[in-house]
Amino acid sequence: MRFSLLILGAPYSSQSVATALRFAQAAVDAGHNVYRIFFYHDAVNNGNALITPPQDENNIPQQWQILANQHDIDLVVCIASALKRGVMDAKEADRYEKPSHNLSDSVTLSGLGQLVDASINSDRLITFGP
């Protein structure tokens, strides 16, 4: 089965993000394919490379990147939600004349079309809310 996930909660403000991460890991461990993870609303902070949790806590954004790299999963953050929350790649930082960028290298900044594509190319699109 091919899954895509829509995640809405911030990495440390919502249990749904950790639950989604465990679901994705369990899915690939069971032999399923995870096509895309789409981060929307506050979940775009999962793509923020500057998030630094205390050493005794799980680094959830980093765990998403590791999972994606190991299993060739597409990580996408919604561009509109990301820009509102100060998460941007180098191109957008230049475009808006910002002094720096903070989007993780393994995450893509894109629009809702990627969410539509995920729903078309997956057997199931599962939402993990705040």
- 19 with 126: CB under 8 angstroms? no
Say whether 78 is catalytic: yes
Report CA 35 to chain centroid distance, whole Å: 12
Among 78, 82, 88, 103, the active-site one is 78
Strand ranges (E), the chain: 2-7, 33-39, 74-78, 107-110, 124-128
d(C-alpha 35, C-alpha 18), whole Å: 18
d(C-alpha 62, C-alpha 48), whole Å: 10
Catalytic residues: 78
